Amino acid sequence: MIKINKKPAALIYPVPAAMVSCGSTPDEFNIITIAWTGTINSVPPMCYVSIRKERHSYDIVKRNMEFVINYSTKDLVREADFCGRKSGREYNKFKEMSLTPLKGEKVNSVIIAESPINIECKVTEIKELGSHDMFLAEVVNIQVSEDYIDKSTSAIKMKHQDLMAYSHGKYIQLGDIIEQAGFSIKSKT
Ligand SMILES: Cc1cc2nc3c(=O)[nH]c(=O)nc-3n(C[C@H](O)[C@H](O)[C@H](O)COP(=O)(O)O)c2cc1C
């Protein structure tokens, strides 16, 4: 395999294209699509979103110190793209995309009813990094659609075929399961 060196860039893909909702009153409700997001700790469960200061959502998240990560599905790809192209300064994105704002369970921030998984987060720290500020947050509640719950065990059952990711300028539908994690060390007897 011949490798070519390229200049440093943000090139860790695939990542989510999460619709992050914010705001605790209808006049400030907003949605921003975020690719720079991920898990950073298991106990307590913590995650981050990185937001440029110039985004309308930046001030809303900073003021409320809360946000909600709403899973994007293949059926919500148009909504996710729109929320990542237009600003809440000019558009009510809930109205434009016919999305339903509901109040979070453990946060005052809004959630997107149509998204199957809503991860409610409280900001613990804001780190200035350069182009973006990183909002570190603790996950305080998760709302999961019944469709994503195994009826017999009550465990979360991801519907991978319905989910989408973002990779190098493209939205990708997640596909088939290749293997169960841990399969490489399982005995074959
Ligand atoms: C797929 C995708 C991923 C994005 N990821 C980020 C991100 O991680 N951080 C960020 O600040 N902006 C990101 N953006 C840009 C914002 O979503 C976009 O500027 C949006 O219009 C800001 O909305 P607001 O002004 O209402 O906050 C992304 C856009 C798209 C389409």
Q: In which region does residue 90 sit, left (phi positive, over 0), alpha (psi from -120 to 50) or beta (all else)? A: alpha
Atom of ligand 1 nearest to the CA of 54: 25
Closest CA to 118 of 52, 54, 22, 28: 22
Please tell me the predicted confidence (pLDDT) of residue 41: 98
pLDDT digits (tens, 9 = 90+) for 104-157: 999 999 999 999 999 999 999 999 999 999 999 999 999 999 999 999 999 999
Does 44 sit behind a cis peptide bond, omega within 30 degrees of 0 on the bond before it? yes
Q: What is the residue with the minimal CA distance to atom 6 of ligand 1? A: 34
What DSSP string describes 86-129?
Answer: S-TTT--HHHHTTPPEEE-SSSSSEEETTSSEEEEEEEEEEEE-
Q: How many CB atoms lie within 10 A of CB 178?
A: 6
Mean pLDDT over each residue of the chain, to the nearest integer: 97
* Amino acid letter, residue 180: Q
Say what the pTM is. Answer: 0.97
Q: Tell me how far the alpha carbon of residue 33 lies from the centroid of ligand 1, in angstroms.
A: 5
121 lines ligand 1 (CB under 6 A): no
Percent of the chain with pLDDT over 70: 99
Assess whether pLDDT exceeds 80 at residue 92: yes
Please tell me the predicted confidence (pLDDT) of residue 49: 99
Assess whether pLDDT exceeds 80 at residue 189: no
Please tell me the predicted confidence (pLDDT) of residue 153: 97
Instruction: Output the six-digit token pair for 75.
Output: 């059926």
- How far apart are the C-alpha atoms of 36 and 161, rounded to whole Å? 22
Please tell me the predicted confidence (pLDDT) of residue 141: 98
Contacts of 145 (CB under 8 A, 6+ apart): 116, 117
pLDDT digits (tens, 9 = 90+) for 54-83: 999 999 999 999 999 999 999 999 999 999
Determine the average pLDDT of the residues in 171-186. 95
17 lines ligand 1 (CB under 6 A): yes
Does the CA dihedral 12-18-23-27 come out positive or negative? positive
Q: How far is CA 187 from CA 151, 181, 182, in A?
A: 29, 14, 11
34 lines ligand 1 (CB under 6 A): yes
Residue 187: pLDDT band (50, 70, 90) is: confident
Instruction: Output the six-digit token pair for 182.
Output: 């841990």
Assess whether pLDDT exceeds 80 at residue 183: yes
Assess whether pLDDT exceeds 90 at residue 188: no
Which three-class secondary structure state does DSSP give residue 80? helix
Determine the average pLDDT of the residues in 40-55. 98
Please tell me the predicted confidence (pLDDT) of residue 138: 98
* Residue reference for tokens 């110190």: 65
Residue 4: pLDDT band (50, 70, 90) is: very high
